[in-house]
Amino acid sequence: MNPAPNSEFMRKAIDLATENVRSGSGGPFGAVVVRDGIIVGEGANRVTQQNDPTAHAEVRAIRAACQALGVFSLHGCEIYTSCEPCPMCLGAIYWARIDRIWFGNTSADAARVAFDDAFLYREVALPAARRAIPSSMLMRDQAWESFQLWLDTPNKTPY
Amino acid sequence: MNPAPNSEFMRKAIDLATENVRSGSGGPFGAVVVRDGIIVGEGANRVTQQNDPTAHAEVRAIRAACQALGVFSLHGCEIYTSCEPCPMCLGAIYWARIDRIWFGNTSADAARVAFDDAFLYREVALPAARRAIPSSMLMRDQAWESFQLWLDTPNKTPY
């Protein structure tokens, strides 16, 4: 994979973000997934329009790329996103096995326009007991049953 | 909101996880979103079946609850999940404004059955420059244009 970025793809991600605000479709965020020099998935933020708090630009671009390619791994792909991924989107990028991230605005920039990205990075890094959303373990022994079944299942699709 | 958990809801989340493995639909993970003592959304892991690396149980339960209620905020809701949320799902829970998390298995348990949750927590907490997936800033001045347009737009829907 070419380690040099292609400004055309970042321009596309930014245009998606700008057009999204102009059309009233959602927040100022756009992203494209690129493989072998071709855009294979794109997305803009549609949280409010689609009533889906997970409909961030990167998540939507990843979903679109996986549907287009018929895969659940985007190994060999890069993502260009108009803003540094939030922890949710960074997690999605890891699960998708994307090779490289190019971003425009930073998380601190996002905080300046009143999005929670920087706050979320602080929260995710805290021990669970110190986070703003309370979190408790419950019925761990019973929950292990499903993990044991996973271990005992021979013909599964790992990911 | 009642601070005490309801084991019936965790039982449901675990059953979703177990049934998901048994039916070959995906990984051993299930979750339900609860409001006022009623399940308003549920989900199991469908990453491999749907070619969607973001189709974790919590993400799917949140999407289902938002669709059922016609909202993009789940303030006033709790989530019961058969395993401690990974960083992607924890981010989704924050963006959804969920009030409380109850989990069964821990991230360390997930690592024991070969899922990356604990690794992802370490990665997300690192400075971007030290993460396994390389990440670089590009065209920040141009990217700011979409943020500036967001600031200058009077009739937007914040979230």
Each residue of B46-61: pLDDT tens digit? Answer: 999 999 999 999 999 9
B74 CB-contact burial (10 Å; exposed 0-12 / middle 13-18 / buried 19+):
buried
The span from the CA of B120 to the CA of B141, in Å, is 30
Taking the CA of residue B159 and the nearest CA in chain A, the distance in Å comes to 7
Listed residue (A97, A79, A123) closest to B125, CA to CA: A123
Question: What does the pLDDT average to over A9-38?
Answer: 97
* Amino acid at the residue A20: N
Whether the CB of A6 is below 8 Å from some CB of chain B: the reply is: no
Q: Number of CB pairs < 8 Å for A and B?
A: 299
- R_g over Cα of chain B: 18
> What is the structure's pLDDT at A116?
82
Q: What is the pLDDT of residue B2?
A: 54
pLDDT of A2 higher than 80: no
CA A31 to centroid of chain Cα atoms: 10
Find the helix or strand (DSSP H, E) in which A94 lies.
helix A87-95
Q: Please compute the mean of the pLDDT values over residues A1-10 and round it to a whole number.
A: 85
**What kind and span of H or E run contains A156?**
none
Query: pLDDT at position B3, please?
Result: 73
A62 to chain B: which residues are within 8 Å by CB?
53-54
**Catalytic machinery residues of A:** 58
Residue contact A100–B150, C-beta within 8 A:
no
Output the pLDDT for position A3.
73
- Full-model pTM: 0.96
Tokens of A91: 């997690």
State the pLDDT at residue B114. 87
Q: Does the interface ipTM go beyond 0.90?
A: yes
Query: Which 83-142 residues of chain A touch chain B by CB within 8 A?
Result: 83-84, 86-106, 109-110, 112-114, 116, 120-121, 123-125, 128, 133-140, 142
Q: Residue A58 — very low, low, confident or very high, per pLDDT cuts 50/70/90?
A: very high
**DSSP character for B132?**
S
To which H or E segment does residue B7 belong?
Answer: helix B7-22
Q: With a cut of 70, list the residues of chain B below it in pLDDT.
A: 1-2
Best residue of B146, B153, B156 to probe chain A, by most A CBs closer than 10 Å: B146
Residues of A in contact with B133 (CB under 8 A): 93-94, 98-101
B120–A91 C-beta distance less than 8 A: yes
| CA gap A135, A129 in Å, rounded | 7
Find the mean pLDDT for residues A13-22.
Answer: 98
